[in-house]
Structure 1
Amino acid sequence: MQLQKTYPKAIHSQNNHGQCDRWWRGLSGILFTFVMALLGIGLAKIPLIIHLGSMITAILLAIIYRQVFGYPEAIREGVQYSGKKLLRYAIILFGFRLNVDVILQQGLGLIIQDVLSITLAITATMLIAKWLKASQSLSLLLAVGTGICGAAAIAAVSPIIKAKEEDTAIGVGIIALIGTVFTVIYTLLYPIMPLTDIQYGVWSGASLHEIAHVAAASAPAGEDALAFALLAKLGRVLLLIPLCFLLAYWMGKDKNKAAKVDFPWFLVGFVLASLIGTYAAIPKVLLDYIATFSSFLLTAAMVGLGLNVSSQALRTRGLKPLISMFVSSIILSIISFIYTIVFL
């Protein structure tokens, strides 16, 4: 009789202990990605590494950790939470950086060029990838990253097309590498290019990958060039919204896709955040804090993704998509250059 009374209590105690243990593993995994993110942010301030940026530095740290120490299985739940959930929260907060009013009032003329840039980047990358028989999922991530805004675009599109976390991490690393190379090339070419400062800024904003790349390449041409470069780039970021919804529609319509496509609710949050940041009377200091926090969350998410990358995957899956994206980036730069000279 005593055993019958104590046995249910013992089971209840074990269940509570299991839940607490699972909760602690999840928290430990999130904290682990936070620590790695802080290390990445710190290392990114070193002169030789500064051009990579904190996100890329953090994801490289995670990849190295995986190769040396293996995947941290004990805290897998928390690491995966960072790579999936925190990633979406970061994208929502990223919307506060997008000033819709500036684009609508001053940048509508650049939207046409931005649409052409995105269409060209995606089409060229996917055609070359198909010819090389490269991974279509990874190539699509790189195509969107090339056309729009690098790592942030890859992070936004990844859950919509059901990309593997490993492909997402590889894509972020490749887009950073190629984007950095092109930034250096643009900076070296600036003094000899037959472009005005403003034309050079527009060209940079319409063809380079990350917002950081655009800022770094256009800054030497002066404040006006930087302003027009960022304006052209923000137009491409704005077009991320309709593109994601088109991809969600395409994925849901494609009968070859076995998995049901969830509605990308985080993009609704992205849109609302951009509208609030644009039209609500939010102090600039607070917006700066939000931007910093979103960058930190995105960096922590990159750690979660980087831990899923194996060295074998980099060799076997990454090379052909990298070639596809590199060639399409060259094509994008040339066509954008011609368009800028002719129409601006």
Structure 2
Amino acid sequence: MKIAYRPLLSGIGFTAIVASLGFTLAQLPVLNKTGPLAVAILLAVLYRHFFGYPEAIRSGIQFSAKKLLRLAIILFGLRLNMNLILDEGLPLLLRDLGVIVFAIGLMVFLARIFNADASLSMLLGIGTGVCGASAIAAVSPILKVKEEDTAISAGLISIVGTIFAIGYTLLRPLLPLDAEAYGMWAGISLHEVAHVALAGAPAGEEGLGMALLSKLGRVFLLVPLSLLLIWFMKNKKNEETENSITFPWFLLGFLAMSLIGSYFIRIPEDVLGHIASLTSFLLTMAMVGLGLSVSLRDLKHKALKPLLLLILTSILLSVLSYWIV
């Protein structure tokens, strides 16, 4: 089959341009608190609203939304240093596991009570419990959710997580916690790695180190969580239909990168920094592709309840994690 390279490259370039614009605008006051991912998703949603979906370059946009998304998740594995997690031991992982179970369980429970969108609520619960937009992107192919839901969830989790991270920095001087305890609290309760870094910085090197370590424990649990979701979806499909669940092989890449970075190759910090920047840019390009599938007209009715439940869950998670630190 002949591949039309011009639409493919044009679509990839389009998502790269919007992602770059998102990174640029994210340097401005106020927007610099939300981060480039949320800004880029908003730009994509607005473009779709005012100009429609660019059908002529759909193949390239879909390549960014799917292929580049998987590549970003694989590269994200290099951030996970398994040695640090294993050295800290079982108590930290048990706290992280409790956070994940609490966040997902509460979001799903509240969604049923208040009749909120089940797909969005599940994704937001996973993003809150594990590692924000990265976790949402990783589990979306397993749960077979709509691209629109993935983009909405990633945008909401980025914005709410940023607000909470800023709130943590304001609370820091008022709390009777030492640097390490505060760092652990931030690491086991905030949504994304960037949010944890933002909130942990005021606690100094010790606090920030503990915050990131606690957060990495939750990232570590992304793989077993994904395997559990695969098992759940297969059982669900067996009950409803014969359609099979495709194994997300990119998660093996995520795990392989984690093992390589932890045990086989010592990657210099400056190189890891460049890889982290590339990962963030690729993930933002992917989210632009997904954001173009969002209908702004339907967003208010579909996302309002899950957003409110996300805020409530995040508050309760902060209180619970403060109590167990």
Scaled to the shorter chain, the TM-score interval is over 0.9
Q: Distance in 2 between matches of 1:181 and 1:290?
A: 26
Q: Residue 268 of structure 1 corresponds to which residue in structure 2?
A: 252
Q: Distance in 2 between matches of 1:271 and 1:90?
A: 13
Q: What is the DSSP-based 3-state SS (H/G/I as helix, E as strand, rest coil) of the residue aligned with 1:160?
A: helix
Measured after TM superposition, the shift of residue 107 of structure 1 is 4.8
Q: Residue 85 of structure 1 corresponds to which residue in structure 2?
A: 67
Give the partner amino acid of 2:258: S
**Aligned with residue 176 of structure 1, among 155, 158, 172:** 158
Measured after TM superposition, the shift of residue 64 of structure 1 is 1.4
Query: Higher mean Cα deviation, 121-130 or 33-42?
Result: 33-42
Give the partner amino acid of 2:271: L
| 1:233 lines up with 2:218 in the alignment | no
Q: Residue 312 of structure 2 corresponds to which residue in structure 1?
A: 327
Measured after TM superposition, the shift of residue 30 of structure 1 is 0.8
Once the two structures are aligned, what percentage of the paired residues are identical?
52
Seen in structure 2, the aligned counterparts of structure 1 residues 94 and 86 have a Cα distance that, compared at 3 Å, is same
Deviation per CA, 1:87-144: give whole Å up to 9, x if none: 1111011101111111111254311110111111011111001111111111110000
Measured after TM superposition, the shift of residue 282 of structure 1 is 3.8
**Aligned with residue 152 of structure 1, among 129, 134, 138:** 134
Give the partner amino acid of 1:276: I
Give the partner amino acid of 1:163: V
Measured after TM superposition, the shift of residue 23 of structure 1 is 2.2
Seen in structure 2, the aligned counterparts of structure 1 residues 257 and 289 have a Cα distance that, compared at 3 Å, is farther
Q: Residue 12 of structure 1 corresponds to which residue in structure 2?
A: none
Deviation per CA, 1:57-98: give whole Å up to 9, x if none: 111111111112111111111111111111111101110111
**Aligned with residue 299 of structure 1, among 278, 284, 289:** 284
Give the partner amino acid of 2:246: D
Q: Distance in 2 between matches of 1:48 and 1:205?
A: 24
| 1:283 lines up with 2:252 in the alignment | no
Q: Could you tell me whether the CA contact under 8 Å between 1:126 and 1:324 is conserved in 2? A: no
Measured after TM superposition, the shift of residue 47 of structure 1 is 3.1
Q: Could you tell me whether the CA contact under 8 Å between 1:166 and 1:306 is conserved in 2? A: yes
The within-5 A match list for 1:199-238 is 199-238=181-220
Query: Higher mean Cα deviation, 45-54 or 243-252?
Result: 45-54
Measured after TM superposition, the shift of residue 316 of structure 1 is 1.5
Cα RMSD after superposing both structures: 1.4
The within-5 A match list for 1:5-154 is 19=2, 22-154=4-136
Measured after TM superposition, the shift of residue 185 of structure 1 is 1.5
Give the partner amino acid of 1:274: S
TM-score if structure 1 supplies the norm length?
Answer: 0.90
Q: Distance in 1 between matches of 2:132 and 2:298?
A: 21
Q: Distance in 1 between matches of 2:154 and 2:216?
A: 19
Give the partner amino acid of 1:58: A
Deviation per CA, 1:270-307: give whole Å up to 9, x if none: 00011011112243133333222211111100100111
Measured after TM superposition, the shift of residue 258 of structure 1 is 6.0
Measured after TM superposition, the shift of residue 260 of structure 1 is 2.0
Q: Distance in 1 between matches of 2:118 and 2:219?
A: 23
Segments of 5+ residues of structure 2 without an aligned counterpart are none
Q: Distance in 1 between matches of 2:93 and 2:253?
A: 23
Give the partner amino acid of 1:251: M
Q: Could you tell me whether the CA contact under 8 Å between 1:125 and 1:139 is conserved in 2? A: yes
Q: Residue 9 of structure 1 corresponds to which residue in structure 2?
A: none
Q: Distance in 1 between matches of 2:320 and 2:121?
A: 21
Segments of 5+ residues of structure 1 without an aligned counterpart are 1-14
Q: Distance in 1 between matches of 2:172 and 2:96?
A: 21
Q: Distance in 2 between matches of 1:194 and 1:28?
A: 54
Q: Distance in 2 between matches of 1:313 and 1:86?
A: 27
Q: What is the DSSP-based 3-state SS (H/G/I as helix, E as strand, rest coil) of the residue aligned with 2:211?
A: helix
Seen in structure 2, the aligned counterparts of structure 1 residues 71 and 232 have a Cα distance that, compared at 3 Å, is same
Q: Could you tell me whether the CA contact under 8 Å between 1:107 and 1:235 is conserved in 2? A: no
Q: Could you tell me whether the CA contact under 8 Å between 2:46 and 2:296 is conserved in 1? A: no
Measured after TM superposition, the shift of residue 257 of structure 1 is 5.8
Seen in structure 2, the aligned counterparts of structure 1 residues 114 and 265 have a Cα distance that, compared at 3 Å, is same
| 1:336 lines up with 2:318 in the alignment | no
